[in-house]
Amino acid sequence: MKRVAIIGVGHSKFGDRSDVNLSELTFEAVKPALESSELTAKDIPYMALGSMGVWSEEPLPAVVIAEYCGFTGAGLVRCESACASGSAATYNAYSVIKSGQMDLALVVGAEKMKQISTPIIMEMIGRAGYYMWEFENFGMTFPAYYAMHAVKHMENFATTEEDLAKVAVKNHKYGAINPLAHLQHEITVDDVLDSFMIAWPLKLYDCCPITDGSAAVVLASEEKVKELKIEDPVWIEAVGVASDTANLSKREKYVGLDASVKAAKMAYDLAGITPKMLDVATVHDCFTIAEIMAYEDLDFCKKGEGAQMVREGETEVGGRIPTNLDGGLKAKGHPIGTTGVSMLAELTKQLLEEVKPNKRQAPMKNYIALAHNTGGTGHYGYVTILRR
Amino acid sequence: MAKPLSMKSARTLCITYNIPINRTLKFWTGLEKGKVYATKCTKCGKLHFPPAADCGDCNSSKIDWVELDGEGEIVTFTQVFVKPASFSEKPDYIVAIARLKEGVKALAWLKGIKREDVKTGMKVRLVAKVFPDKRVAYEFIPS
Q: What is the pLDDT of residues A107-135, one digit of tens each?
A: 999 999 999 999 999 999 999 989 999 99
Contacts of residue B33, Cβ cutoff 8 Å, sequence gap at least 6 = B128
Q: A111 in contact with B at a CB cutoff of 8 Å?
A: no
**pLDDT tens, residue order, chain A (388 aa):** 789 999 999 999 999 999 999 999 999 999 999 999 999 999 999 999 999 999 999 999 999 999 999 999 999 999 999 999 999 999 999 999 999 999 999 999 999 999 999 999 999 999 998 999 999 999 999 999 999 999 999 999 999 999 999 999 999 999 999 999 999 999 999 999 999 999 999 999 999 999 999 999 999 999 999 999 999 999 999 999 999 999 999 999 999 999 999 999 999 999 999 999 999 999 999 999 999 999 999 999 999 999 999 999 999 999 999 999 999 999 999 999 999 999 999 999 999 999 999 999 999 999 999 999 999 999 999 999 999 9
- β partners of residue A198: none
Which residue does chain A place closest to B48, by CA atoms? A250
CB contact under 8 A, A123 and B86: yes
Spatial separation of the C-alpha atoms in residues A204 and B82, rounded to whole Å: 10
Spatial separation of the C-alpha atoms in residues A110 and A340, rounded to whole Å: 10
Q: What does DSSP say about strands A280-282 and A368-375: parallel, antiparallel, or unpaired?
A: parallel
Which residue does chain A place closest to B107, by CA atoms? A249
Q: B115 in contact with A at a CB cutoff of 8 Å?
A: yes
Contact indicator for A287, A378 with CB cutoff of 8 Å: no
pLDDT surpassing 70 at residue B15: yes
Spatial separation of the C-alpha atoms in residues A178 and A343, rounded to whole Å: 13
Residues of A that are catalytic: 83, 334
Contact indicator for A46, A96 with CB cutoff of 8 Å: yes
> Tens of pLDDT along B91-143?
999 999 999 999 999 999 999 999 999 999 999 999 999 999 999 999 999 99
Q: B82 in contact with A at a CB cutoff of 8 Å?
A: yes
Contact indicator for A147, A141 with CB cutoff of 8 Å: no
Sign of the alpha-carbon dihedral angle for A299, A251, A208, A155:
negative
What is the least distance, in Å, from the CA of A341 to any CA of chain B?
A: 27
A374 torsion bin: left (phi>0), alpha (psi -120 to 50), beta (else): beta
Q: Of B23, B137, B124, whose CA–CA distance to A139 is shortest? A: B137
CB contact under 8 A, B50 and A57: no
pLDDT score for B4:
73
Which residue does chain B place closest to A114, by CA atoms? B6
Q: How many other C-beta atoms can be found within 10 angstroms of the C-beta atom of residue A268?
A: 21
**Segment (H or E) for B129:** strand B123-130
Spatial separation of the C-alpha atoms in residues B34 and B37, rounded to whole Å: 10
Spatial separation of the C-alpha atoms in residues A305 and B38, rounded to whole Å: 38
Averaged confidence pLDDT in chain A: 97
Q: How far is residue A108 from each of residues A47, A78, A183, measured CA to CA in Å?
A: 7, 9, 22
Spatial separation of the C-alpha atoms in residues A275 and A265, rounded to whole Å: 10
Residues of A in contact with B83 (CB under 8 A): 119, 122, 139, 141
Spatial separation of the C-alpha atoms in residues B58 and A200, rounded to whole Å: 39
The one-letter amino acid at B65: W
What is the least distance, in Å, from the CA of A17 to any CA of chain B?
A: 9
The three-point CA angle A245-A247-A253 to 5° equals 70
3-state secondary structure at position B26: helix
Spatial separation of the C-alpha atoms in residues B95 and B81, rounded to whole Å: 11
> Tens of pLDDT along B1-13?
566 789 999 999 9
Contacts of residue B38, Cβ cutoff 8 Å, sequence gap at least 6 = B47, B48, B49, B51, B65, B66, B68, B102, B104
List the single best residue of A141, A156, A255 to mutate versus B (max B Cβ within 10 A): A141
pLDDT score for A35:
98
Contact indicator for A49, A109 with CB cutoff of 8 Å: yes
Contacts of residue A131, Cβ cutoff 8 Å, sequence gap at least 6 = none
Q: What does DSSP say about strands B37-41 and B47-48: parallel, antiparallel, or unpaired?
A: antiparallel
Q: A120 in contact with B at a CB cutoff of 8 Å?
A: yes
DSSP strands (E only) in B13-92 = 37-41, 47-48, 63-67, 71-80
Q: Is residue B45 exposed (0-12), middle (13-18) or buried (19+ Cβ within 10 Å)?
A: exposed
Q: B1 in contact with A at a CB cutoff of 8 Å?
A: no
pLDDT score for B2:
67
Closest by Cβ to B85, choosing from A119, A137, A200: A119
Spatial separation of the C-alpha atoms in residues B98 and A327, rounded to whole Å: 36
ipTM over 0.90: yes
Contact indicator for B143, B123 with CB cutoff of 8 Å: yes
The pTM score is: 0.97
What is the least distance, in Å, from the CA of B112 to any CA of chain A?
A: 15
